[in-house]
Amino acid sequence: MSHQAKGLASSRANAKHTSMFVRMLMRAAVLRRGRAASALFAMVVAAAVATAMLNLYVDVQAKLQREFRNYGANVILVGKTSTSLPADALAQVDATLSGRGIAAPFALVVARTADGQPIVVAGTDFDRVKQLNHWWSVTAWPTSEKQALIGVRALPLVSPKNQAFDLSFQGRTLHVTPAGTVQTGASEDSRIYISLADFISWTGVQPSTIEVAASGNASEVAGVMNQLAQAIPSAEVRPVRQIMEGEARVLGKTRATLLAAAALIILTAALCVLSTLMGWVFDRRRDFAIMKALGASERLLNGFFAAEAAALGATGALIGFLLGIGIAAWIGRANFHAPVVPRLGVLPIVLVGSMAVTLISAILPISLLRRVQPAVILRGE
């Protein structure tokens, strides 16, 4: 013990003079542990809430855009002058998209069933459709050649007992076996879907439509549409307007609501910090009075309380930032089933904001106290 005390004494003796300032800061925090901790706690919570809200605000657009891509295509390519697109159109679309979305080709003809009924048969790429149109309610996807996906309304007509059947188009016959049914509530229910390879070898007809779900915000999608139009000049590229407009509206309103909520919450949190800190500083009016009585200058006193506030603000902001990122990530996982990406750009905003709030809450009571004589404060009046 004595060894420890000696060590402490010698270190203090060797310390530079400026360390008095640091020591006062440290002791102020250590001696009134409870009050300092509650001020820090308020700061951490405020910074955490602010970080989480800002992070969510930035990220919610990307998250909701992903949800909206489940609506399927937002861009459609059709032939401009002929009913079919060029044979390499899909490859061109894939090259242009290069990972920024999914495309699925569709080729359509009116064929006849064995008893002469007209029916629409479509050729498509099932793997792509599965990714593009999540809302298709499919009992079983075709897995091998000559298997067909049959619309629920077409089923009783072509294959009431789930048996294999014939389709004919311009004198050529295709024998297919049903794999499963598709239900969408729209025109798909009346159609028969077969794989594109089967379709082309049977009819010789190339895809007439390519549906594209391009990811990104409105201007990114517009960019993709431009590139597609340039890459395949013979195709007409058009937006699926109801999806695009609905998306823009919902996104805009959600973000606006979030912004309003974020502003309210951050304001409340800031006020919480303000009242806690002001109470803390006001409580220490005796420290202030003693320092003043011992001859501390106004500048030193202001510097002391400002440094204390800044240190508190910075520490609280850093801890709160980490905590807030955690909260945002948790909300992302719980609500969107995908983590919210931490935005480091939020850190400076939170840091500056926190320090501004702490500085205000330190300076305000000090400027009130400055007018009072130290003797009055020390007498406890």
- Pick 265 or 301: Cβ nearer other proteins: 265
Taking CB under 8 A as the criterion, the residue among 143, 173, 201, 242 binding other proteins is 242
53 binding other proteins? (CB under 8 A) = yes
Residue 249 interacting with other proteins (CB under 8 A): yes
- Alpha-carbon 309 to chain mean position: 33
Block residue for tokens 């890459």:
231
If one asks whether residue 264 binds other proteins (CB under 8 A), the answer comes out as: yes
Amino acid at position 172, single letter: R
Among 89, 214, 232, 278, which residue sits at the site for other proteins (rule: CB under 8 A)? 278
Q: Report the site for other proteins in 99-158 (rule: CB under 8 A).
A: 108, 110, 117-120, 133-137, 153-154, 157
Site map 153..182 versus other proteins, x via CB under 8 A? xx--x-------------------------
- Interacting residues with other proteins between 338 and 377 (CB under 8 A): none
Closest approach, Cβ 180 to other proteins, in A, equals 16
- Residue 6 vs 286, nearer CB to other proteins: 286
Note whether 45 binds other proteins by CB under 8 A.
yes
Strand partners, 151: 182
- Yes or no: say if 29 and 302 are a contact pair by the CB < 8 Å rule: no
| 38 interacts with other proteins by CB under 8 A | yes
How many beta carbons lie within 10 A of that of residue 72, not counting itself?
20
52 sits near other proteins (criterion: CB under 8 A): yes
Q: Single out the residue of 10, 11, 187, 201 in contact with other proteins (rule: CB under 8 A).
A: 187
Buried b (16+ CB within 10 A) or exposed e, 267-299: eebbebbbebbbebbeebbebbbebbeeebeee
CB atoms within 10 A of CB 233: 8
C-beta of 25: minimal distance to other proteins in Å? 22
Q: Is 336 in the site for other proteins (CB under 8 A)?
A: yes
The least CB distance from residue 112 to other proteins, in Å, is: 10
Residue 41 CB burial class (10 angstroms; 0-12, 13-18, ≥19): middle
Strands 172-183 and 147-151, by their bridges, are parallel
Please tell me the distance from the alpha carbon of residue 188 to that of residue 17, in angstroms, as a whole number: 83
Q: Is 283 in the site for other proteins (CB under 8 A)?
A: yes
